[in-house]
Structure 1
């Protein structure tokens, strides 16, 4: 039986995080769940591509911009199911069982992982709690929670739009409520929160989402967002 999942990871100078992210996927490889690993790069100047090659990934090159990178990665993949991961998102060891169960019992739904941060303290727990509550009640997970779905559902959604910010929100909207949370987590990096402050970054995220919801241009939002 052909392995069902293609893993798509967008990268841009991700050498510091990519090895741990790929290593967390090994249980899926051992269980025959992963058909191919696609690293969709946006012009890395560090040794991201060397790491990807050593991992046996198919490398797709193109302009930077996460939406476009995800779209190109999905196009290059061959699996019946797709899993999209940020380069700094590490799956829990039990992800294989959770993904397999979802594929069997909820083939017409997408799924996201419950969010955790690789940071200590009350603030990371509070922000993660809100993210998981938002995901469950509003059906709005962000990209750092990962996203998996059948290729048929991905095609139904129209795929990721070629935009550099809020591509995850656009995808969630396109799926029209067809997303559930898995009973396992993904641990993501907290560099932006730690650099800018947990409260300040949370406010910036909410402001960006609000502006996007009222029709702001994603590229203008991206320039504003990445200044801080």
Structure 2
């Protein structure tokens, strides 16, 4: 993600507005109110700035509303700011490009602050496209664009455009032959465009070695809250989670009990149940929202991958993905996600000591569609490394068989945790 980190001929210009209630995201005010609309503008701008910083490419901010002092107090004094002085959006962008090229930059990309699905990797891809094309455009679903980049001045691109209409993209590309289109994304203009909030629920018990990494990843998502439900850890799990600013609630131990408790205090429309030793894919939040909407799923999950290397790893990954994708029988370590309303319709996780994920999936299959994303979630291979790939696989199958035969679930759990076969007396 740092392909252009050493280049000093590239520049990113962010167009944004100072978030004054009543003047920011005005089309959203009738639905969410002036203060919430301004807060959304603030949140989206801060998120875009965080993504731009990841690219390591120099950037500046062109702002409207407020003062330079307001912007510095908000986003920091180390950023270069300049006020948008023209009324016409086309004039603003044309002048921004001209200023950038006169300053010595040879590749310039302008982005807005209304597209939280725009991430650092796509911004870098835009600059990569400018190596071979004179123009790169990120098309928005409303007929406009969320990004435009040039490697030489082209003022005609911003003349005689019906700004704010669904004609913007087509009118723009009709003026140029050498261009590259990026992935189509969604600008936030209407209430329906706001990305649904995701509540990430992580049950923990003595996970101080893993909890920081997974929370750092969840914190990188847009419009996300992370809830750690701790089952009585005796290590620094709770402290580390609190230090990272997430919600922490204590619970009696038991994965199902902990996850259900997390749901009760969640405020998101979408739930993601995540193990503390998981490694999420890049842009995981976008992936979840797209999967739920595009595939119209009741329950979604990620492809399976193991973090560590050991003998038999590839076979386990292949078998797990076949079972999950073909037979729609994923396990909880693949990161279940579901709309909160649908979660309650399914009756939450069953209050059982083990295999709550299997019981939940079985019920979900009878009620709706289950689908896998195109991205991988990595899980720890510590259990396979501890007991060996062959033995662990054998014991896992014995656990499933013992449950099928009606063995006591507490006995199965004890055997699972101690690496023993639940089909035989545990000693």
TM-score > 0.5, shorter chain as reference: yes
Residue 180 of structure 1: aligned partner? 371
Match of 2:256 in 1: 67
1:9–1:40 CA contact under 8 A, matched in 2: yes
* Cα deviation, residue 180, structure 1: 0.8
Match of 1:17 in 2: 210
TM-score when normalising by structure 2: 0.51
Residue among 214, 219, 225 paired with 2:410:
219
TM-score (norm 1): 0.93
The separation in 1 between residues aligned to 2:195 and 2:238, in whole angstroms, is 27
The Cα RMSD (Å) is 1.5
Cα separation, 1, equivalents of 2:214 and 2:304: 15
Secondary structure in 2 matching 1:136:
helix
Match of 1:5 in 2: 198
* Pairing of 1:63-212 with structure 2 (within 5 A): 63-176=252-365, 178-212=369-403
Whole-angstrom distance in 2 between the partners of 1:56 and 1:214: 45
Alpha carbons of structure 1 residues 125 and 94: separation in structure 2 relative to 1, 3 Å: farther
3-state SS of paired residue (1:64): coil
* In 1, Cα distance between equivalents of 2:283 and 2:375: 7
Retained in 2: the 8 A contact 1:112–1:146? yes
Alignment-derived partner of residue 223 in structure 2: 33
Q: Distance in 2 between matches of 1:74 and 1:213?
A: 29
3-state SS of 1:152 partner: helix
Displacement of 1:162: 1.9
Secondary structure class of the residue paired with 2:207: coil
**Distance apart, 1:138 and its partner CA:** 2.1
How far residue 122 of structure 1 moved from its aligned partner, in angstroms, is 4.9
Please report how far the alpha carbon of residue 108 of structure 1 lies from its aligned counterpart in structure 2 after TM superposition. Answer: 4.1
Asked if the contact 1:108–1:153 (Cα under 8 Å) also holds between the matched residues in 2, the reply is no
Equivalent-residue separation in structure 1 for 2:228 and 2:353 (angstroms): 17
Question: What is the number of equivalent residue pairs in this alignment?
Answer: 224
Q: Distance in 2 between matches of 1:106 and 1:153?
A: 15
Q: Distance in 1 between matches of 2:409 and 2:397?
A: 14
Partners of 1:23 and 1:194 in 2: how far apart?
25
Contact 1:38–1:57 under 8 Å retained in 2: yes
Match of 1:44 among 223, 233, 244: 233
Given that 1:82 and 1:151 are in contact with CA atoms closer than 8 Å, whether structure 2 keeps it comes out as yes
More helix by share: 1
For the Cα contact (< 8 Å) 1:8–1:74, is it kept in 2? yes
Once the 2 structures are TM-superposed, how far is the Cα of residue 144 of structure 1 from its aligned partner? Answer: 0.8
Structure 2 SS opposite 1:215? coil
Map Cα deviations across residues 100-143 of structure 1 (whole Å, 9 max, x no partner).
21132234421111111111245112111111111112211111
Q: CA deviation at 1:54?
A: 1.5
- Quote how far apart the aligned CAs of 1:224 are: 1.3
RCO comparison, higher one (Cα < 8 Å, 6+): 1
| Largest Rg, 1 or 2 | 2
